[in-house]
Structure 1
Amino acid sequence: MAVFVDGQHRTDYGRIVLTTDNVLHSAERVQNTPSRADGINYEDERDIKIIGCELIQASGLLLQLPQVAMATAQILFHRFYLVKSLVIHNYEHQAMAAIFLAAKIEEHPRRIRDVINCFHHIKQVKEKKTPSPLDFTGTLYVKQKNDVIKAERRLLKELGFCVHVKYPHKIIIVILSLMLEQSQNTELVQLAWNFMNDSLRSDVFMRYAPDQIGCACIWLSARIKKICLPENPPWYELLDCSREQCEEISRTILNFYCIPRPNAEKLERVVNAAKEAYELKKSFNEKSKRELKEIKKQESASNFSPLDPNRNKDSPHKPKLSPGSLINNKLSKLAENGSSESHKNGGVRRSKHHSPRRRYSPVSPPRRKHDRYSRKKRRSSSDSESSSVVRKRKHRSKRRVSSSSDDSSSSSDSEAAREEARKRKHEEKKKLADAKKLQEKIKLLEKEKERSKKEKHEKILRDPGKEHRHKVR
């Protein structure tokens, strides 16, 4: 692209290349379309595209558009459904948008109201109803108008606003008049022209260049009319076309005439069934994503929350404690150790002298009253031996009663402890089983997510429309 910048001639400014070569694809790419991935087989997809092209041709005749505009609309229709699916986007709306856009491209614009009325008229004739125009103030007309405008924007967006189309119609006339000197043979010219118009309904224009298609149409019509064309050297090689390509294009065009007439009602049922399956799959994917997010949130909360009692203590993500809390923890541990030692030694903890800081510490254990006053107790020397004997007997009887009560309480305590241990084990087993189930569910959801990602990746690989748009820019 040549541009003058600061008085200098620059040819590399912008690096924009406008060509029709980036809209050609291989046979595998043309067959593996998004519609095939959404559950529509090759025959049904081909029949739906044929019906859409027939609608474009019929509406173009009613709108009195030139053949060039109808050819542009059909090629744009094929290019769009090479990138998008018939399940998601209605082919009637896209056909209306294609003819409406092609009329503007070829400088024969038509009103959107006329386009909608033409398609409505064709539908009424097929259903054998009395034709009547749509009320432009009604809801049906307004809805269809909005659908067509959205479809036109979508068409431009998916094609990257590259709507340039090269036609082989002029090539046929030029080749027959200049190279082959057969312009006077009207039957040959008309037959090649008919083959050209019929090939617009197939996927030939997605796989071959317009020059090659024009050569194949002339070659096929000459063989049918039994007209000899120069073969030494072959005339089609001047247009970068080989004999194999002519045969392949001719075979595709002839196979088109062997296809039975498609049934629109049957195809609508097929599309509706595929649309229901697509919606179910989409809802299931959204639900699984939501569940996976919730499970991950629960896991993160259970692993990293310092307030969770079931948190794994050996996990590397432990909450950091402040210096004050560390000191309180150490003091509480020391207090617990001291109380346990005192219980081991005699059951009753003996009082010790504490410093004022230790005495008033909130963590220090409470003192008992009888320990405090035990130091002040002094036995009087006036107690007789009889009173001491009686006191000893009472003490012995109390010890016996306390020992029997301790035995019974210890047995009951041991049974309660066993019951609590059983309950704890049962709860731990239940938690382990729940954790295993949760992990299995997470694995299944992650597998489903990986599979959906793989399908998206395969769709992107099968979807060359975007990379070709980037090439065009």
Structure 2
Amino acid sequence: MDIMNNPLATASQLQRRNNFSSLPSDLQDIVFYATQCLTQAAGMLLELPQSTTAQANVLLARYWLVESPMLHEFSDVSAAALFLVAKMGPIPRSVRDFSNVYAHLLSSKSSFFRPTQPVPPPDLRLSYQHDDEYLAFQNRLLAVEPRILYALSFDTHVSLPHALAITYLQTLDFAGQPKGSIGRRVVAYLNTALLSPQMLYLTHQPHALATAAIYNAAKDLGAKMPECAWWEVFDVDREELGFLVVGMRSLDGWVKKQKEDVPGIFDDGVVLRSRIEEEMKKRGLHVGNGKGDAVDEEDEVMRQMDAKMTTAQQT
């Protein structure tokens, strides 16, 4: 396995994503963006490295390529993906920590998604859950986690472009621009790309993402770039670079448009499955999980998973 590259989504997978879900494409994109934002906020409160949170973002995106978002509450999928990556990393967190953090983010006390309000330091003790609430969260978390693993064929490898981008920056000379400011802007673009409903991390390799982020950062700060097709040195062609540059820069405009087209959907920043169902009812659409006989299919998936695990233990 090439540790510098990621398995990319195929055209058929992207098409199937649009077909198997009962969600219209605009609502799918809204769910994706809001849940990725929730994952980032949870990673901050849990004091996890950004690399851990970014890997969780990528795994969540891969999971929703093969299963409908409507199968589970969106926050449960976010928590399960982050929990899965965190426990394999250097700073694992307990289920109780996850329970308190997600309870806080989903509560009216949370100010992470309300930028017009003052943002006091969050006191997670105020979101401490009673035993029955905690056990319910734990059961949901531990039910979704193996589904993610099974859907991804237990392949949790994620190569991120952040370190690669810093290496690329060291090979470029920016006239009149501190390299530190360029680096911060590059990382900001890479983190923003994680939230894009275009799923840029699933359709492009890390070296291309790193190159596009450098191009955007240099343009924003007025840095003088080499007067040649420097991106070709990093094995990126002009067409791919142009697509990624536009994709990374278009997220803010897309969010503003969604707020206008679907008023109220982002009122508090947290998009729940119930709110999406209400929006679908307003449109006269069938509300379902997008999987037909989902309960039977879920049971079959779990039976297959149990059989695989039993076989692995016996061998």
Pick aligned residue for 1:269 from 265, 275, 283: 275
Q: 1:277–1:18: structure 2 CA closer, same or farther, 3 Å change rule?
A: same
Superposition pairs of residues 365-444 of structure 1, within 5 angstroms? none
Equivalence for 2:245? 250
| Whole-Å separation in 1 of the counterparts to 2:166 and 2:291 | 52
Equivalence for 2:304? none
Superposition pairs of residues 103-114 of structure 1, within 5 angstroms? 103-114=86-97
| Whole-Å separation in 2 of the counterparts to 1:281 and 1:171 | 39
TM-score of the two chains, using structure 2 as the length reference: 0.75
1:198 aligns with 2:192: yes
Equivalence for 1:145? 138
Pick aligned residue for 1:133 from 123, 127, 130: 127
Equivalence for 1:67? 50
Q: Quote the offset at 1:134 in angstroms.
A: 3.5
Question: For residue 201 of structure 1, what is the amino acid of its counterpart?
Answer: L
Give the structure, 1 or 2, with the largest relative contact order (CA under 8 Å, sep 6 or more): 2
| Whole-Å separation in 2 of the counterparts to 1:201 and 1:39 | 22
| Whole-Å separation in 2 of the counterparts to 1:152 and 1:236 | 39
Superposition pairs of residues 137-176 of structure 1, within 5 angstroms? 137=131, 139-176=132-169
1:230 aligns with 2:240: no
Cα deviation, 1:176-226, whole Å, max 9, x if unaligned, reads 11x103494222221111101110112100100000000000011112222
Q: 1:158–1:29: structure 2 CA closer, same or farther, 3 Å change rule?
A: closer
Question: Is the 8 Å Cα contact of residues 31 and 42 (structure 1) preserved in structure 2?
Answer: no
Cα deviation, 1:246-300, whole Å, max 9, x if unaligned, reads 11011111111102255256863333658964379947xx9xxxxxxxxxxxxxx
Q: Quote the offset at 1:70 in angstroms.
A: 0.8
Question: For residue 168 of structure 1, what is the amino acid of its counterpart?
Answer: P
| Whole-Å separation in 1 of the counterparts to 2:58 and 2:159 | 10
Question: For residue 238 of structure 2, what is the amino acid of its counterpart?
Answer: R
Equivalence for 2:311? none
Equivalence for 1:189? 183
How many residues align structurally? 263
TM-score of the two chains, using structure 1 as the length reference: 0.51
| Whole-Å separation in 1 of the counterparts to 2:289 and 2:216 | 45
1:24 aligns with 2:8: yes
| Whole-Å separation in 2 of the counterparts to 1:279 and 1:167 | 31
| Whole-Å separation in 2 of the counterparts to 1:31 and 1:163 | 23
Question: Is the 8 Å Cα contact of residues 68 and 106 (structure 1) preserved in structure 2?
Answer: no
Question: For residue 116 of structure 1, what is the amino acid of its counterpart?
Answer: S
Question: Runs of 5+ in structure 1 lacking a partner?
Answer: 1-16, 287-473
Q: Quote the offset at 1:107 in angstroms.
A: 2.0
Question: Is the 8 Å Cα contact of residues 161 and 209 (structure 2) preserved in structure 1?
Answer: yes
Q: 1:269–1:238: structure 2 CA closer, same or farther, 3 Å change rule?
A: same
Cα deviation, 1:26-81, whole Å, max 9, x if unaligned, reads 466435416x5332112111111111111111111111111101111111111100
Q: Quote the offset at 1:117 in angstroms.
A: 0.6
Q: 1:41–1:110: structure 2 CA closer, same or farther, 3 Å change rule?
A: same
Question: Runs of 5+ in structure 2 lacking a partner?
Answer: 115-122, 260-264, 297-315
Q: 1:18–1:216: structure 2 CA closer, same or farther, 3 Å change rule?
A: closer
| Whole-Å separation in 2 of the counterparts to 1:180 and 1:46 | 35
Q: 1:82–1:250: structure 2 CA closer, same or farther, 3 Å change rule?
A: same
| Whole-Å separation in 2 of the counterparts to 1:172 and 1:280 | 38
Equivalence for 1:80? 63
Equivalence for 2:30? 47
Equivalence for 1:208? 204
Q: Quote the offset at 1:105 in angstroms.
A: 2.5
Aligned-partner SS, 1:33: helix
Cα deviation, 1:133-170, whole Å, max 9, x if unaligned, reads 34352x22211101001111111111111111111111
| Whole-Å separation in 1 of the counterparts to 2:15 and 2:42 | 28
Root-mean-square deviation (CA), in Å? Answer: 2.9
| Whole-Å separation in 1 of the counterparts to 2:83 and 2:45 | 13
Equivalence for 2:215? 219
Pick aligned residue for 2:78 from 95, 105, 108: 95
Question: Is the 8 Å Cα contact of residues 87 and 271 (structure 1) preserved in structure 2?
Answer: no
